Amino acid sequence: MGRSAVMAPVPSKLYSDDVSLLVVLLDTNPFFWSTASLPFSKFLSHVLAFLNSILLINQLNQVVVIATGCNSCNFIFDSSSVPANPNLENGRMPALCSNLLQKLEEFVTGDEKLSKEVLAAGIGSSLLSGSLSMALCYIQRVFRTGPLHPQPRILCLQGSPDGPEQYVAVMNAIFSAQRSMVPIDSCVMGAQHSAFLQQASYITGGVYLKPQQLDGLFQYLSTVFATDLHSRRFLQLPKPAGVDFRASCFCHKNTIDMGYICSVCLSIFCKHHKKCSTCGSVFGQAQSDGNSATDRKRKTPET
């Protein structure tokens, strides 16, 4: 790399192509982890070893961890922030471990408390849209720091199934990531494939993987997801077998490959209807000042 010849290190010379900022979205949904084949503690040990290896690959690499809970999301760890305890060195083990684990524990207990106040509606999915939005806001902040910044990417470690009520928000986040050229990698640990993450990785140019053996998670993480964006051009990373872009109809939630679209609100129907259930427009006639009440609700494929 030729860094040894410089006497006083000039930052621009150290910023080679492969400096990366990795934002990890960690799924902490207890409803998933209680039934998963890999216990949460073992999973954390794989992830911590992986995060440490990222920080070792390049001294300027940065890691940020955001926890995706069942009722809330929050920042857990940022390797570039000043540690609370000045005795422990910045960003290196064991500071990485203890800081991260402590904050994660606080987050999980807080998340669980919120669960008691909330009705059990739509439980089973975690708030992926929230953590994706927070990750993208953080990445925008990194872009604002100037021309020299690490190449950001997002890694979703997701186990919970997709929540259909988050469809619009997740798609908004995906398009924003595509515009900012931030790839979204996905490692799905649940039983089924995640359609949201397949589309996310396809649209943004990231890697989608569903590991077959969860015991070897660290190997999957370090061989597939550890490489920076510049080096990915030289590697053969797993390509998805097929991405399902079919839509689901608003009336029955079936996946359809031919359907009818309302020209006003773009809702998808599988059969011909006289009236659109989302926006209230009557088809075939000039519309009146439609159904105003239905505009307000966040209409998603579920409702």
Partner 1 sequence: MNDMEHRKTNDGKGRRLDGEEEEEEEDEDEGNGRGLDAWERAYADERSWESLQEDESGLLRPIDNKTIYHAQYRRRIRSLYSSTTTARIQKGLIRYLYIVVDLSRAASEMDFKPSRMAVVAKHIEAFIREFFDQNPLSQIGLVTIKDGLAQCLTDLGGSPDSHVKALMGKLECSGDSSLQNALDLVHGYLNQIPSYGHREVLILYSALSTCDPGDIMETIQECKKSKIRCSVIGLSAEIFICRHLCQETGGSYSVALDESHFKELLLEHAPPPPAIAEFAIANLIKMGFPQRAAEGVISICSCHKEAKVGGGYTCPRCKARVCDLPTECRICGLTLVSSPHLARSYHHLFPIPPFDEVSLSLLNNPHQRSSRACFGCQESLLIPGNKPTLCVACPKCKQHFCLDCDIYIHESLHNCPGCESFRHSKIVSVTEE
Q: Which is nearer to partner 1, 155 or 276 (CB)?
A: 276
Q: Name the pairing type of β-strands 247-248 and 184-188.
A: unpaired
Query: ω before 94 within 30° of 0 (cis)?
Result: yes
Which of these ranges, 22-30, 98-106, 176-184, 225-233, lies near partner 1 under the rule CB under 8 A?
176-184
Contacts of 178 (CB under 8 A, 6+ apart): 203, 204
Q: At what angle do helices 167-179 and 195-204 cross, to 10 degrees?
A: 20
Q: What are phi and psi of 190, to 5 degrees?
A: -80, -175
Rule CB under 8 A: say whether 80 interacts with partner 1.
no
Stretch touching partner 1 by CB under 8 A, among 32-40, 172-180, 185-193, 211-219: 172-180
Q: What are phi and psi of 230, to 5 degrees?
A: -65, -40
- Residue 181: DSSP 8-state: T
* Nearest approach, Cβ of residue 5 and partner 1 (Å): 36
Cβ(162)–Cβ(195) below 8 Å: yes
Site for partner 1 (CB under 8 A): which residue of 1, 8, 82, 258? Answer: 258
Of these, 203, 214, 226, 251, which contacts partner 1 (CB under 8 A)? 203
Site string for partner 1, 151-170 (x = CB under 8 A): --------------xxxxx-
Measured between alpha carbons, how far is 83 from 251 in angstroms, rounded to an integer?
52
**Is residue 302 part of the contact set for partner 1 (CB under 8 A)?**
no
DSSP H or E segment with residue 24: strand 20-27
**Site for partner 1 contains 251 (CB under 8 A):** no
Q: Which residue, 46 or 160, is less far from partner 1 as judged by CB?
A: 160
Q: How far apart are CA 156 and CA 102, in angstroms?
A: 21
Residue ranges in 7-66 that form contacts with partner 1 under rule CB under 8 A: none
Beta carbon of residue 220, minimum distance to partner 1 (angstroms, whole number): 21
Distance CA 132, CA 177 (A): 9
One character per residue 96-135, x = contact with partner 1 (rule: CB under 8 A): ------------------x--xxx-xx----x-xxx-xx-
Q: Which stretch binds partner 1 (CB under 8 A): 23-31, 148-156, 204-212, 257-265?
A: 257-265
C-beta of 51: minimal distance to partner 1 in Å? 18
Taking only Cα atoms into account, the Rg of the chain, rounded to an integer number of angstroms, comes to 22
